[in-house]
Amino acid sequence: MGMIQIAATDGAGRFDCLVAMPKAQPAGAVVLIQEIFGINSAMHALSEWVAGMGFIALTPDLFWRQQPNVVLEPDQGQAQWEQAFAFMNGFDQEKGLADIAATIAHGRSMAGSNGKTGTMGFCLGGRMAFKAATGTGSDCNVSYYGVMLDALVAEKPAFRGPLLLHIAEKDKFVPPEAQAKILEGVQGNPRVAAHVYPGVDHAFARMGGHSWDGRAATIANGRTAEFLVKYLG
């Protein structure tokens, strides 16, 4: 596992990207899209998990335009959360989506790739994975407890790539009325599969976190693995 740099398409510079390679190649690539805490220990663990499944894991530094290499840990106190929300509020989502698209392009062309690249995001990253499904040419997209998806669904977007949604029933950041709008908005769309996990809160799949739920995470991760194999090989 190591860092590479990818050029931003708007000429603003180059951003860091964590890379973990699988044992067998060529392989499909997965662009992992961070929570609001930067490329922290959870993202490193996810990179290892994705590489262990046989995919190239690419995790771009999405907050680099504000501050390069942000690393915050949600279980280390309120100050970490306050910094994380400040970075989220300062994040330009359209420029971030362009950086994700640049990472997707890199994943397709890098040595060891089979030419297929998908996205997988969590929280803010889950929202960006949704946007990647409508705004990039990614081969597939996975959104774990994405935030503010009801607003995106209201725009009646056209999905360019398949999307898998994991929704936490008790998500404190996505209330029941928002969940209802999301489910209604994607119902019947052949490119979207949505699953609601009963009784679990936001970040239920973050191992070791305060909302970790082993059963829901195992089910969601199994669905994710099958989805990635189907579309990325």
Active-site residue set: 171, 202
Q: How far is CA 28 from CA 106, 114, 139, 193, 208, in A?
A: 12, 5, 10, 21, 28
CA angle 61-63-66, nearest 5°? 135
Reading the block at residue 25, the tokens are 């190649």
Angle of helix 93-109 relative to helix 124-135, nearest 10 degrees, comes to 70
Question: How far is it, in rounded angstroms, from Cα 68 to Cα 227?
Answer: 32
Question: How far is it, in rounded angstroms, from Cα 57 to Cα 19?
Answer: 6
Reading the block at residue 65, the tokens are 């335009």
Of the candidates 134, 143, 138, 121, the one whose C-alpha atom is nearest the C-alpha of residue 42 is 121
DSSP state of 158: P
Task: Give the count of beta carbons closer than 10 Å to the beta carbon of residue 18.
Answer: 20
